Amino acid sequence: MDFFFAPRGVAVIGATPNPLKGGNAILKNLLSGYRGGIYPVNPRYPQIDGLRCYPSVSAVPDPLDLAIIFIPAPLVTSSVEACAARGVAGVMIESSGFAETGPEGAKYQSELRKMAVGKRIRIWGPNCMGLVDVKHDRIFSFMDPRARQREWIPGDVSLVVQSGLLSATFLFDIMSHGLMGVSKVCSVGNKVDVNECDLLEYFIGDPDTRVIGFYLESFADGRRFLEIRRRCTKPIVVLKGGKTRKGAEAALSHTASLAGNHRIIAGALAQSGIIEVRDFRQMTDVCRTLAMMDPPDAPGGRVSVLTFSGGAGIVSTDFIEENGLRLADLSEETRTALRGLYPAWMPVAHPIDLWPAMESHIGKNVDVCGLALEAVLADPGVDAVFLHTFTGNAHIRLDPADLARPVRASGKPIVVWQTGRRDESFSFQQQALRCGIPVFAEIGRAAECLAAVLRGRYRPEPIPAPGVPCGPLPPTIPDLSAFGPGPLDEYVSKALLRACGVPTVPEALITRVEQVEAAAAGLGYPVVMKGLLPGTVHKTESGLVRLGITDGSAALSSFTALMAQMEERGKVLLQKQVSGKVELILGMVRDPQFGPCVMFGLGGIMAELYDDAVFAVAPLNHREALELIGRLRGQKMLNGFRGAEAVNRNEIARILVALGEIGLSHTRIVEIDINPLLVGPEGAAAVDATIVLK
Kindly list the distances between the CA atom of residue 692 and the CA atoms of 251, 483, 670, 688, in Å, as whole numbers in the listed order.
Answer: 10, 10, 6, 14
Q: How many CB atoms lie within 10 A of CB 457?
A: 13
pLDDT value, residue 251: 42
* pLDDT digits 0-9 by tens, 8-46: 999 999 999 999 999 999 999 999 999 999 999 999 999
Domains of the chain listed by start with CATH number: 2-209 (3.40.50.720), 297-454 (3.40.50.261), 506-576 (3.30.1490.20), 582-693 (3.30.470.20)
Q: What are phi and psi of 232, to 5 degrees?
A: -105, 135
> Nearest to residue 275, comparing CAs of 433, 285, 460?
285
Distance in Å from the first CA to the final CA of the chain: 38
pLDDT value, residue 249: 41
Distance CA 569, CA 494 (A): 21
Q: How confident is the model at residue 476 (pLDDT cuts 50, 70, 90)?
A: low
Q: In this structure, which amino acid lies at residue 301?
A: G
The percentage of the chain sitting over the pLDDT mark of 90, rounded to a whole number, equals 65
pLDDT value, residue 247: 41
For 422-484, where are the alpha helices, taking DSSP H only?
Answer: 422-435, 443-454
Sign of CA dihedral 79, 85, 88, 89: positive
Q: Residue 558 contacts by C-beta under 8 Å, 6 or more apart in sequence?
A: 529, 546, 549
Q: Which residues pair with 584 in a beta bridge?
A: 602, 677
Q: What is the mean pLDDT of residues 580-599?
A: 91
**3-state percent breakdown (helix, strand, coil) of the chain, nearest 5:** 40, 20, 40
Q: How confident is the model at residue 581 (pLDDT cuts 50, 70, 90)?
A: confident
CA 336 to chain centroid, in Å, comes to 44
Is residue 115 within 8 Å of residue 122, measured between CB atoms? no
For the ranges 10-24, 164-178, 413-427, 613-627, the lowest mean pLDDT is seen at 164-178
Q: In this structure, which amino acid lies at residue 578?
A: V
Q: What is the mean pLDDT of residues 256-270?
A: 75
Is pLDDT above 60 for 543?
A: yes
Distance CA 433, CA 429 (A): 6
Distance CA 303, CA 314 (A): 13
Q: What is the mean pLDDT of residues 433-437?
A: 92
Q: In this structure, which amino acid lies at residue 458?
A: Y
pLDDT value, residue 542: 80
Distance CA 143, CA 150 (A): 14
Cα torsion for 659, 661, 662, 667, to the nearest 10°? 130
* pLDDT digits 0-9 by tens, 80-136: 999 999 999 999 999 999 998 999 999 999 999 999 988 889 999 999 999 999 999
Distance CA 430, CA 445 (A): 18
pLDDT value, residue 13: 98
Q: What is the mean pLDDT of residues 505-533?
A: 93
Q: Residue 484 contacts by C-beta under 8 Å, 6 or more apart in sequence?
A: 693
CA 586 to chain centroid, in Å, comes to 22
